[in-house]
Amino acid sequence: MIDKELKAGRKVLSTVPGGLLLGPTGARLWADYVQAAPGFVGRFDFIHKVNIPLLFAITVNGQAYNMETASAEWYPSQLRLSYTDDRIGFEESKFITWEDCAVSCQTWTNRSDGELLLQAAAPSGFQAYGEEGMQGGFDIPFYSYDIDACLAASEPSLWNGGLRLQPGEKKTFVVAAALGIRSLDSAEVLMSRASGFIGKPASLEDIASGQQAEYQKWFDGAPQFKSSDPVLNKTWSYRWFLLRHNMADPRYGLLQHPLFYEGRSHKKSKRPFSKGGWEFSKLINLSVPLHLTDARWHHNSGPSMGALRNMQESPADNGMYVCLTADERMHSFANYIGWAAYRLFLVHRNEDAIVEALPGLKAQLSSWQEVYGNEQDGLMTEYRHTRTGKEYQPSYWYFHNYPRNPKDPETYTHVKRVDRTVYHYLNALGVARLCEMTGDPEADQYLQLAERIRRDVLEKMWDEETAFFYDLHYQTDEKALVKNIVGFYPAWADMLDETHNGLIAHLLSPDEFATGCTYPTVSADSVAYAREGGWFGHFIKGRHGCMWNGPTWPYTNSITLDALARESKRNGYAYNEAFARGLREYSFLHFQNRDLNRPGLVEHYNSGSGEPLSDEQEYNHSYYIDLIVSHVAGLSVDADCIRLDPLDIGLDYFELGRVKAAGQEIRMTYGKPGLGRYPDGIEEGYRLYLNGKLAFASNTLAAGTVPLELREERLEGV
């Protein structure tokens, strides 16, 4: 159960003293943070960042009760608080449901020698609604929607004069707030949702366990992985939590379909009802492919398909997929959405959905060619360094000797970017494969485009003398001799052959990318390298600003490790140990101070020390699950077969189960030869089971292929 696996103590925002994190999120409603106070006091958001400061609170004798020193237990499904002093004993379980109800179950004990008066406090302007609740709303001036809410309590006296607690008396009650969009969600509907919790037995444990079971349902649709390495096991569980925590379904404006957000935290002001700053709670087309890469393995394809549909229904005028809020089409980032969609459809075989998606994916390719392409080659020119999501990578300033003021437009050079070009290649290849799957006659056209891009990357961006891939001057094709992390992207895209075997040496060198916290976004021997961010000592974007000239980012760690695994396989598994080491270090980034009892992933890290450089907790801008499935278990799905190609990373055993892909029920196990004893269900050797039948077996980890059209037992290497 996810609560048991990820239970933590006091999870907080380091930039907000006393700001406790809340794990469960609704389709629209979530908490940026809550205070250690009875009820929902803190900052609460709806569809996007709105910073509502109060949903409801409980006062004692007319005053807010100071519980700053309350003990807190964080669970994915809820937050548990407990507090005791000479006057009171207090316990609370609070959570937000998928239906956008904020629920608090509280138990109070009067430890004083006098009467205590408990009262529910509603936001300003709320009015009585019937005998047991309150109704009101929040005006949101910076979005097209306003919010209505209904509050209900199992003890109506909380709204009407107060609940009196005599000395030694103990009371348990439930208060719930249901939020919706004004004019779309009526007060009757909202009150019905809120009241659904107050008629249940008022037991804190009953309410808490009911929420736990409801929250667990989504995780029951995820594959299971266990191994002899507790770090991998815990990270696997946390990554599924990240997807659930960031799953949303606004059903409003330009976001009519479910999706995953890049994050629920934000770089915004915490001032009530404020909007300034950057937020991650929207569709960001840069991170959508990263979400699909992992989430495609979940049994429910709804949020993955929904993200595609949101983009294809609201593109830019030229067909390019863009970032979206409920109200606005925004800019577009470089991304590999065509390739991610293809791999999604390999798992979830829905030809109607493929046919629906193909026109938009083709238009995306065409728009890139128009905006970023040129007549001389298949490479993509980036005109704004922010649009690949890797701002301030030094190659843009290489041709001006790295000026101390990088914001001066006179010192900025457009470059043909390795990452955008590799994305373009993968998108062309993905569209070609989808055309093949549906019998679309344009498949060859896109295969030819992909091959042209690949040829130009290898011929122009590869430097034989230094064995690295570089960005190019957009006019002269001169190489910007900066070893950016994107120099490994061609390996990730399986573009390489034996002439490029020197590339990985850079990744393994302590003087370049094998820093204390792998892998920096720029080689440590670059003159512009800054492991903590900043630009030559100046923090031009602030202490937590996004900088790609040295800090380590989970985003590129996932892609770089993917590249390393592929190069290991291409070179006779030469880099298995390096991959194992890198995967484990990447896993530890998911835990504060490498403590497995404190899960928490942020945006970027000091590449020397591993210190978190940002405070956007539960950040969803990378992938990890697919690394375990594809390279540790060794499972990949093609159009006509299942391929096996695991890396030996030193595990004594593993089991990957409850996988549903291409119409198959898949389970894989491995027991290290000669170990003697294995956990239940695991035997010695490497095995694949399809629909409960053994389909592949080997005495050791081994590559193999199982055609999907064959159903009979297939044994190899036994």
Local confidence band at 275 (pLDDT 50, 70, 90 cut-offs): confident
Is 717 a residue whose pLDDT tops 80? no
- Decide the pairing of beta strands 163-165 and 88-96: unpaired
The tokens describing 488, both together, are: 């490994």
Q: Is 267 helix (H, G, I), strand (E, B) or coil?
A: strand
Local confidence band at 716 (pLDDT 50, 70, 90 cut-offs): very low
CA torsion, points 701, 703, 709, 713, in degrees to nearest 10? -40
Is 718 a residue whose pLDDT tops 50? no
Sign of CA dihedral 347, 353, 356, 360: negative
> Residue 218 and residue 192: Cα distance in Å, rounded?
24
Q: Are 508 and 522 in contact (CB under 8 A)?
A: no
pLDDT tens by residue, 238-258: 999 999 999 999 999 999 999
Local confidence band at 569 (pLDDT 50, 70, 90 cut-offs): very high
The tokens describing 679, both together, are: 């956990």
Is 51 a residue whose pLDDT tops 60? yes
> Which amino acid is residue 86, in one-letter code?
D
pLDDT tens by residue, 160-209: 999 999 999 999 999 999 999 999 999 999 999 999 988 765 678 888 89
Local confidence band at 542 (pLDDT 50, 70, 90 cut-offs): confident
Q: DSSP labels for 338-352?
A: HHHHHHHHHHS--HH
> Which amino acid is residue 509, in one-letter code?
S
Q: Are 96 and 34 in contact (CB under 8 A)?
A: no
Q: What percent of the chain is predicted at pLDDT more than 70?
A: 98
pLDDT tens by residue, 91-135: 999 999 999 999 999 999 999 999 999 999 999 999 999 877 999
The average confidence (pLDDT) of the chain is: 95
Backbone angles phi, psi at 318, to 5 degrees: -90, 5
The tokens describing 196, both together, are: 């659904």
Comparing CA positions, the residue from 48, 230, 235 lying closest to residue 623 is: 235
Residue 23: exposure state from Cβ atoms within 10 A (0-12, 13-18, ≥19): buried
CATH topology for 2-219 is Beta-galactosidase; Chain A, domain 5 (2.70.98)
Q: DSSP labels for 186-252?
A: -HHHHHHHHHHHHTS---HHHHHHHHHHHHHHHHTTS-EEEES-HHHHHHHHHHHHHHHHTEE---B
- pLDDT reported for residue 202: 61
**Model pTM score:** 0.97
Q: DSSP labels for 368-408?
A: HHHHH--SS-S--EESSGGGGT-TT-GGGGGGGT--S-TT-
Local confidence band at 545 (pLDDT 50, 70, 90 cut-offs): confident
- pLDDT reported for residue 508: 98
- pLDDT reported for residue 337: 98
CA end-to-end span of the chain, whole Å?
36
Please state the domain extents for the chain: 2-219, 633-707
Is 714 a residue whose pLDDT tops 80? no
Q: Are 671 and 653 in contact (CB under 8 A)?
A: yes
Q: What percent of the chain is predicted at pLDDT more than 90?
A: 92
Higher-confidence position of 275 and 588 = 588
- pLDDT reported for residue 206: 87
Q: Are 329 and 417 in contact (CB under 8 A)?
A: no
- pLDDT reported for residue 203: 79
- pLDDT reported for residue 710: 41
Is 484 a residue whose pLDDT tops 60? yes
